[in-house]
Amino acid sequence: MRFLHISGEKILLAAGGPVEPFWDIYTIHKTPEVKDILDSMLIGRNDQSEAEGSVQQNAMKPYANEPKRHPGMVVNSLTPFDAESPPEILTNNFKTPNDVFYIRNHLPVPQIDPKEYKLKIVLPGNQEASLTLDKLKNDFKKTTIVATLQCAGNRRTDMGLHKKIYGASGGHTSISNAEWGGVLLRDVLLEMGLDEKTLKSNTSTWKVSTRTFLENITAFLFQSKLR
C-alpha cells in the first residue's frame, strides 16, 4: 500500500483488497504536495510488480461511462474530467451553450436512474420523507434564474506565477453563464410540513440530505440550462 486516502466510508470499500483503485477515483489528489503529506504516515511499500496489471486495469472502471464532451473543450484533466469553455466560443453568447459549459468534476459522473431517483429529507423529530423525480417535476412550480458559475480555481495557473498554489492548474475560461430551472427548496420543505415560521426561526433543527441534494438534484432538477 503506497497511498491512503481518508475519505470516510468510501475507503472501507477497499477492506481486504488493494486501495489503489479507490485512490484512482480521487486522481486530483495525485500531486507532490499530497504525496509529501502521506509520506509522513508511510508504514512501508509493497512490491508493486505483482499488482501493477490489475491496478491499471481497474483504474479506469469508475470512469467507464463518462458522457461524451464537446471536442472544443480545453481539457485540463480526463479523470476526473476538468475542462474549460473554449475561449473562442465563450463570448459569442450571453448564455453559454450547454455543450461548452465548463466542467469541474472531482469524481466520476454518477449513474442515476430517473425512475429510481428519490430526494430524501429529514424533518424535525427525525421524520423522514422522500420525493420522486416525477413528483418534483410535476407537483411543484418551476423557477428559473440566470446565474454565472465560476470555478474557484479559475486562472490558477496565473496565480501560480505569484505564489505557490495547490490544486489542478487551469486557464481563464472556467466560467459560464446560463438560465437554470428547477424547484425551490423552500417549496419542497413547505410541502413536507414545515411552516414559514419554522423555516425562518428554527433552521438549525432540520437538515436535508446534503450529499443527495448536491450530487443528484443538479443532475436532474437544474439540468435545463435554457439558451
Q: Give the tens place of pLDDT for each residue, 176-221.
A: 999 999 998 888 888 887 777 766 665 544 444 444 444 444 444 4
What residue segments make up the domains of the chain, in order of their start?
8-63, 67-227
For the chain, how are helix, strand and coil distributed in percent, rounded to 5?
35, 20, 45
Residue 124: cis peptide before it, omega within 30 degrees of 0: no
d(Cα 149, Cα 222) in Å, to the nearest integer? 13
Q: Give the tens place of pLDDT for each residue, 141-177.
A: 999 999 999 998 899 888 888 888 777 778 999 999 9
Give the CATH fold of the 67-227 domain.
Sulfite Oxidase; Chain A, domain 2 (3.90.420)
* Stated pTM of the model: 0.65
* Residue 96 three-state SS: coil
Q: Give the tens place of pLDDT for each residue, 44-62.
A: 776 666 555 555 555 457 8
